[in-house]
Structure 1
Amino acid sequence: MAARDYGQYGGITRALELVGERWSLLIVRDLLVGPRRYGELAGGLARIPSNILAARLKDLQSAGVIRRVPHSRVIVYELTPYGRELEPAVLALGAWGFKALGDAREEQVITPDSMTMDLRTAFRSNVAASLPSTAYAARIGDAELFIRVDGPSLEVSRGDGPSDLTFAAGPDIRRLISGELAPEHAIATGVVEVLGGRGALLERFASTFHLAA
């Protein structure tokens, strides 16, 4: 019997056999943001040993979840259509985990890909659909993201861009997203620092990105 064979027949059992190993879903999470080179995956998952990353990638390839493809003279990993079907499950798992998130420990970091997926998880397209298009330049921990909301559509990319609101925050931004902290109090207490644009737009951000804790 294989090490990951639970000896049971069922969909959840099979899913855990395919992506239940440690680090596997985080690799999937990062690839949901976009294709990544091996070094980019390693950089985004700084604590993963190289041999474990190689093994997980091999396992996910064998399962048909990811594939290696040439891109601009380099090899990248990307999700297959079958792998992309995991997105709703990953987003739902992120929303579930948010309820137990608590305060960040000193050694924990925010990566661009992890924050991108957290924003996708918290995005309320039904609310955004009734609001004007808005661009945010956000520095959240070590992640610098350009966030564009256009009706029910969300685009998140690394870097900067022309924005309606530029702000910086740390892990405590979860208190804004959960509704625990009102936007004006987030600014007053320094949880969010407005760097440019209209600070009043932080209320729009909080309405657009919301997850109840």
Structure 2
Amino acid sequence: MFGKEGNHEKYDHCLTIISIASCSMNCLALWSRLFIHVNFEIMERLMITVYTITSTIKNMDLPSRKLWHVGHGTSQIIISANIDTAKTVGKVIPELNGSFTGTVFCVFIPMSSINLTYTLKKDDTYGDIKKVLNQALDGPLKDILAYAEDQVVSCEFNSDTYSSSFDVWTSIALNDNVVKLIYLYENKFDYRNYIMDFMVHMAYKD
């Protein structure tokens, strides 16, 4: 992860194998650690992601015998599955280990969305959260994450280079202790850009 409190500085040129995680992980971990976890005390976290169909998810969910091959009707179905993205956050950010769980709904579109529900320990209004997230984007993550205040739809993020964008309009608060935050990202294009950024960082460190 890049940013003031990212783990990219832990890169060592002596390493023979490194991981840039995944597009979902770069969305989930960046927002969770650099903003929410740093600025607010969170008791519980639940993730739901809407994600495009992939061969990996298919293999993981194959034993359930769900309807994967339905001919011309494939664009009209939603497939639920279990993924390890939420749990894997603990490997990237050790202090969050064991604090995440979640599920995925697979659809036939190139865009993805992460829906994070937080239970906060202290009373913090949704306005407070928006202010913190917006101010944070003026720092080291200015060109990595985005803050979308307009009413947007998924196709507006096609070929978007940001790791993800915080959807202000769709995100909501149940009360001052429970909030639901929505993030949108282009499934693979932004991730490829992120890989290139890290390769440049590796070259600089080497």
The structure that is strand-richer by fraction is 2
Q: Specify if TM > 0.5.
A: no
More relative contact order, 1 or 2 (CA 8 Å, 6+ apart):
2
| TM-score, normalising length: structure 2 | 0.30
Larger C-alpha radius of gyration, 1 or 2? 1
TM-score normalised by structure 1 residue count: 0.30
